[in-house]
Chain A
Amino acid sequence: MRPADVLRFAAGSATGYPLRTFLMVLAMSIGVAAVVMLTALGDGARRYVVNEFSSLGSNLVIVLPGRSETGGFNPANAITGTPRDLTVADAQAIARAPSVLRTAPLTIGTSEASYGGKLRDATVVGTTADYFLIRGLTVAQGRILPAGDTGLSSSVAILGAKVREELFGAEPAVGRMIRVGDRRYRIIGVMAQSGQGLGMNADEVIVLPVSAAQAMFNTNTLFRILVEAKGREAILTAKDEAAAIIKARHDNEEDVTVITQDAVLATFDRILGVLTYGVAGIAGISLAVAGILVMNVMLVAVTQRTGEIGLMKALGAPGHTIRNAFLTEAALLSAAGAVLGYLIGEGGAFALRLMFPTLPAYAPAWAVIAALGTALVTGLLFGVMPANRAARMDPVQALAKR
């Protein structure tokens, strides 16, 4: 039998029993669609987080108070932390290390900001000019914090784009006085729109000199020290130097955790990558279920077409021709299911992107290939048994059955 004829014959058999074909294609497509959509979700989440972290700055080393028990990085620490003695002087000391380009102390809290009777809660970030350089933040109007100035005397503030808009609307903000907490600050700059930064949105902050913020929150400790290494290769030495400097300054006690952004990124990348694989695996189970359905449906098909199989044998079809016809049919149905499922999955991922525009919900190539491949292989694998049953059928008995 010619390959083209096998294909046409199998396609004819498949379309000859529409309900059976529909069920099989449906089962297969649900499995494939599940894999495509769920991996798009998982991988989208991974890419989202990785992007957010990358936007924190490059060649970044972060010093946080408190010793991490395991020595590794605990993602919870990246956002919350236990206050320990980490001071502005520590930050300045680290800045003098050979591999370190600059450092920025960071203290964070919330306070109330008001201007002209308008009131809103804002995240107050106390830091220095280097913070802007490390994070690559720019101002849309005015200027950044004056360099080297950490003194109480300078009561200046820089507003996030959204804070400015809500408090000032169309009015110019630079040069005006704004009340934050119970003190007044002169606005010297407004930040350019930045979108998100993980854990805090740079558009919704008010940046103050670090000592002003510390005074406002009545504390001497810092939330973080951001350290920028002199280059990519200097990151690890900068990390060790920072740890050593703090240890020396803290009576030889290792009471801080120093992490590199690469480690943070790698950790998130790994966690979310594993999550994506897990989700893909769970969705893959539905493909296996689909395979079993394929087998049952094909077994029904073989029973349904017993007379036809007997006839084919009487007309001189050898066993392998009959097996090929049924295998081809199973493969065609799985392929149709796989293609349909892929389209549904991509449609679902598209819908996800519409619903959550910030989430890059694209199914990774490996997942798409794995889903399509698994669908075809399962279809064929589970088609073998029914096809063999058809091929081995006794022609006399098959013909007798009507």
Chain B
Amino acid sequence: MALIELSAIERVFTLGDSEVHALHALDLAIDAGEYVAIMGPSGSGKSTLLNLLGLLDHPNAGTYRLEGRDVTTLSAEEQARVRRERIGFVFQSFHLVPRLTAAENVALPMMLAGIAPAERGERVAKALADYGLTDRAGHRPDQLSGGQRQRVAIARATIMRPAMILADEPTGNLDRATGEDVMELLEGLNASGVTLIVVTHDPVLGQRARRRVMMEDGSKVEDTGAR
């Protein structure tokens, strides 16, 4: 059974009188454990697709099945729960909370999930150690380098042990060497079984993925892993 099944997805934005078809007649199936790069020119609908996959956005038509369940019809509360437990996000601009320390940022999803502080502390310490951030635990985001910030964000995305990680241009704000470090981290997670979906417009980065989905004008134009 596929982890993700999109069929006949439509996403239309209305700007004044003009309609933008950000996604059009899109079918896509992704199995658990896959490593998918979503590629394409700017404005082709990559981010819109990722937001849909992450339940941050809703399609105007079509169905989205996640782990066999139709999630488009879930209530907002249930969708929040799915995001909390099954999905990890990594953003181009890191999105760390500036007043919280690295450790507190990593603990944030567990706090929102109502996990007891003692367990939070243990899991955060382990995650920080895994990502080489132990000595940065008490630092605030503005005291960290870009690469360190993205590592904190990845630690946060994985702390709830999600089924998939959605990363929108995760290296977009990093230099090439740091970007490669970050990609290696994400790929390491994928190697341990987490489904990894990365949006990028960088062909070099895209080549690293086992499967590449090319987007253009809201439609899939090429899919190396299509069944």
Contacts and interface: CB of A to CB of B under 8 A. Distances in A.
Interface of A: 1-2, 5, 9, 12-13, 16, 307-308, 310-319, 321, 395-396, 399, 402
Interface in B126-144: none
B148 to A, nearest CB: 18
A395 B116 CA distance: 26
B51 A315 contact: no
Interface residues of B, number: 31
A16 B99 contact: yes
Contacts of B108: 312, 315
A316 B99 contact: no
Most buried by B among A312, A313, A314: A314
Interface in B56-90: 56-57, 76-77, 80-85, 87, 89
Contact of B114 (A2, A311, A315): A2
Nearest to B112: A317
A1 B114 contact: yes
A315 B112 contact: yes
Nearest to A17: B99
A321 B80 CA distance: 11
B77 to A, nearest CB: 5
Contact of B93 (A13, A395, A402): A402
Contacts of B54: 314
B97 interface: yes
Interface string B78-121: 00111111010101010101111000000011011110110000
Contacts of B51: 396
A316 B113 contact: yes
A1 B108 CA distance: 10
11 contacts: A2-B114, A2-B116, A5-B114, A314-B56, A314-B83, A315-B109, A316-B81, A316-B109, A318-B81, A396-B56, A399-B91
A378 to B, nearest CB: 26
B139 to A, nearest CB: 16
Contact of A315 (B82, B84, B116): B84
Contact of A313 (B56, B91, B117): B56
B95 A396 contact: no
Contacts of B114: 1-2, 5
Nearest to B111: A5
Given A5-B114, A16-B99, 6 more contacts: A313-B83, A315-B83, A316-B81, A316-B84, A318-B77, A395-B57
A308 B83 contact: no
Contacts of B87: 316
A164 to B, nearest CB: 73
Contacts of B95: 307, 310-311, 314, 399
A395 B87 CA distance: 15
A299 B109 CA distance: 25
Contacts of B160: 316
A396 B58 CA distance: 10
Contacts of A2: 111, 114, 116
Nearest to B75: A318
Given A1-B112, A399-B91, A313 B80 contact: yes
A1 B113 CA distance: 6
Contacts of A5: 111, 114, 117
Most buried by B among A310, A313, A316, A399: A316
Given A314-B54, A315-B83, A396-B56, A12 B76 contact: no
A316 B83 CA distance: 5
A1 B51 CA distance: 24
7 residue pairs, one from A and one from B, having the closest CB atoms: A316-B84, A16-B99, A316-B83, A318-B80, A395-B56, A311-B95, A315-B109
A381 to B, nearest CB: 25
A2 B116 CA distance: 8
B97 A308 contact: yes
A316 B80 contact: yes
Nearest to A312: B112
A321 B109 CA distance: 12
Contacts of B91: 399
Nearest to A400: B47
Contacts of B97: 308, 311
Contacts of B117: 5
A312 B81 CA distance: 12
B57 A396 contact: yes
B112 to A, nearest CB: 5
Given A316-B80, A318-B76, A9 B56 contact: no
Interface string B141-167: 000000000000000100010000000
A11 to B, nearest CB: 11
Contacts of B112: 1, 312, 315-317, 321
Nearest to B50: A396
A321 B83 CA distance: 14
